[in-house]
Amino acid sequence: MPPRAPIGGVPLFDSADGVTLLSPEVDAPGYWVGAPALWLDEDALYLSVRWRRPLDRGRGWKSEIFRLRDIATLEPVWACTADQFDTESVERSALVRIPGGAWRYYVSYVDPSDRRWRIDLLEADDLTALDPAQRIPVLDAANTFSEGVKDPVVLLLDGLFYLFAGYGPRDGVADGATREQLHGTGNVFTTGLVDHPTGLWVSADGRRFGFERDVVTPGKGWDANVTRVSTVMPTDAGFLIYYDGRTTQGDVYEDRTGMVFSQDLGTTVRHSDDGPLLQGHAGTRCLRYLDYAVLGDSLFYVYETSTATGAHELRASRARLQ
């Protein structure tokens, strides 16, 4: 039997039983396809992914949106490259459609002005019309009082936009750390010199967000440095909040998945202090950027996971609901 979440009766999965949706350009270390985000619309299921190459060959060089016709068939809809943002790297983006209205695409990328991560918004009535040149600033290092903010997860709830994003609070920077040490690589979150919790920002219009609270903060073991929310699953009992965790000591980029529970998106109860809830089946056993959609009587999960050769592929699993 597949493992189950410790509360709510939500079925999980074994990644060894999953199927590969997308393979990296090269099955070698540093080549990834993943950071998925799903959106179930009236007519189809849509999937956003990030394509990545090694650090010296372009890093996160493209974001792409697909329409899933029959789960196994991915139809390209739209794509943008890092060059269109004048950035050295893009990462996970959140895809949302306002009920009966426009599409919104929250993109995280390295700000070329200071090499800190930020999140901007693209908006259009049709997905094919999303235009990076018309991007709207949403969150950056200045307005989050942080060393950077990235990897948004957006939940529409009771007419409000709930945006969860990993960030580096300034009071979580290691003593004595210099700007060059933090931002010389353009990725402060791999240095281990700043804590990497997930914060929650809320907005009435999806553009101007106010900070509410930290939702998941680093623990004392396998997730001692990074706790980056990957998806939020509403249930009858409350919210299951899945997150990517790591120590950043020998496991950079090879996160695994933990979970906390919250009844009100305020206080949380941790359910994976002793170890990850989900991990991959090959290579480093990385399993990160989990997302899901409810399809009929089952949950359709997508996630980025390591291959035996050290690359990362996009994989999917289905689990039947009770």
| pLDDT tens figures, 3-58 | 545 455 789 999 999 999 999 999 999 999 999 999 999 878 999 999 999 999 99
**What's the pTM value of the predicted model, to 2 decimals?**
0.96
Instruction: Report the C-alpha gap between 78 and 166 in whole angstroms.
Output: 26
| Torsion angle of the four alpha carbons 170, 151, 5, 74, in this order, in degrees rounded to the nearest 10 | -170
CB 269 within 8 A of CB 260: yes
Beta bridge partners of 72: none
* Separation of first and last alpha carbons in the chain: 13
Instruction: Report the C-alpha gap between 5 and 267 in whole angstroms.
Output: 19
Share of the chain above pLDDT 90, in %: 89
Sign of CA dihedral 309, 311, 312, 313: negative
Confidence of residue 93 (pLDDT cuts 50, 70, 90): very high
Residue 321: its pLDDT value, please?
86
pLDDT in tens, 106-143: 999 999 999 999 999 999 999 999 999 999 999 999 99
Instruction: Report the C-alpha gap between 253 and 59 in whole angstroms.
Output: 12
CB 146 within 8 A of CB 170: yes
Reference 272, options 229, 243, 295, 293; nearest CA is: 243
Residue 296: its pLDDT value, please?
86
pLDDT in tens, 222-263: 999 999 999 999 988 899 999 999 999 999 999 999 999 999
